[in-house]
Chains A and B, each alone.
Chain A
Amino acid sequence: MANTVIGNTIVIDGEISGDEDLTIRGTVKGKIALSASLIVENSGTVEADIETKNVEVSGNVTGNITSTERVELKSDGRMVGDIKAPRILIADGAVFKGNVDMER
C-alpha cells in the first residue's frame, strides 16, 4: 500500500493523526500524532507539535517532537523546538535550536 505523501503544493492547517507512515513534502501547521514513522523531506515545512514513533527530518520543523523510538535530524534538516525521545541523532550540517531529552 502506498504510504501517505503530503505533496509539495499541499497545505494542511489542522490536525493529522493515524497509524501509517507519513511523508511530508508540503506544509503542515497544527498537530501531528502518528503511531508510525514521519518523514519531513527537504521541501517539507512543519509548524506543529509532533507525537510519533520515528521522525526523520530533512526539511524545516518548528515545534516540539515527542517520539517513542527515534528522532533523526539529517544534514539538511532545520529544527527549532524540543525533542524528547530515547534515541536522537543529529547529523553534521543540521541546524537545531532547542532542548534534547533522552530520558527513557
Chain B
Amino acid sequence: MADAPCVIGRGITIKGNLSGAEQLVIEGAVEGHISLKNHLTIKETGRITADITTHSLMVHGQVSGNIEANDLVSLSSEASVVADIKAPRVVLEDGARFKGRIEMDVELPPGV
C-alpha cells in the first residue's frame, strides 16, 4: 500500500492546495497549488492549472502554471504545457508542446 502511488482519478476535480510527501499520479483536474516532496506524474487525461513545486515531474497531459522541481522535469510527446520551468534537468520529448521559460541553473562559462 505504501508503495502504490496516490491517484487522483479522471472524474475528480480539486480546487485549492494539495501537498504531500508521497508519489502522486493525477488523471483528473487540479486548480490551485501543488507542493510535493516526491515524484509527480500527470497522465494524458490530467488537466492542471496550478503552480507546481515538486521533487520531480513527468507530464503527459496539460499543465498551465509555473513549475519548480529539485530534479527532473520531463514533458512527454503528449504533453501540452504553458509554464515557466525551473529545474536542474528538463527534458522535452519530440511532440511535446511547450510555451514558456526554462531555467536550468546552469553555471555559465567564464566570460559569458
Q: Name A residues whose Cβ lies closer than 8 Å to a Cβ of B.
A: 1-20, 22, 26, 30, 36
* A-B contacts at CB below 8 angstroms, number: 80
Task: Check A10–B14 contact: CB distance below 8 A.
Answer: no
Residue from the list B9, B17, B22 in contact with A14, Cβ < 8 A: B17
B20 and A7 form a contact (CB under 8 A): yes
Residues of B within 8 A of A6 (CB): 6, 8
Interface residues of B in 1-26 (CB under 8 A from A): 2, 4-22, 24
Closest to B26 in A: A4
Q: Out of B11, B14, B22, which one reaches A12, CB within 8 Å?
A: B14
Chain B residues with CB under 8 Å of A1's CB are: 9-10
Knowing A5-B6, A10-B6, A14-B32, the reply to whether A19 touches B20 (Cβ < 8 A) is: no
Q: Count B-side interface residues using an 8 Å CB cutoff.
A: 23
User: Are B16 and A14 neighbours in the complex by a CB distance under 8 Å?
Assistant: yes
Once the chains are docked, how many angstroms separate the CA of A21 from the CA of B13?
A: 12
* Inter-chain contact B20/A15, CB cutoff 8 Å: no
Q: List 5 A-B contacts (CB under 8 A).
A: A9-B21, A12-B19, A14-B17, A17-B15, A22-B12
| Chain A residues, Cβ within 8 Å of B18 | 10-14
Does B28 have its Cβ within 8 Å of any Cβ on chain A? yes
Please report whether the interface of chain A is mostly helix, strand, loop or mixed according to DSSP. Answer: strand
Please name all residues of chain A whose beta carbon is closer than 8 Å to the beta carbon of B16 when the two chains form the complex.
Answer: 12-15, 30
Given contacts A14-B14, A15-B15, A17-B13, contact A4 B20 (CB under 8 A): no
Nearest chain A CB to B104 CB, angstrom units: 29
Interface residue from A2, A11, A14, A17 paired with B20 (Cβ < 8 Å):
A11
- The answer to whether B13 touches A3, judged by C-beta atoms less than 8 angstroms apart, is no
Q: How far in angstroms is the closest Cβ of chain B from A53? A: 13
Interface centre among A6, A9, A26 (most CB of B within 10 A): A9
Q: A9-B21, A13-B16, A20-B12 are in contact. List 19 more A-B contacts (CB 8 A).
A: A3-B9, A4-B8, A4-B9, A5-B4, A7-B20, A10-B18, A10-B20, A11-B18, A11-B19, A12-B19, A13-B19, A14-B18, A15-B14, A15-B15, A15-B16, A18-B9, A19-B11, A20-B9, A20-B11
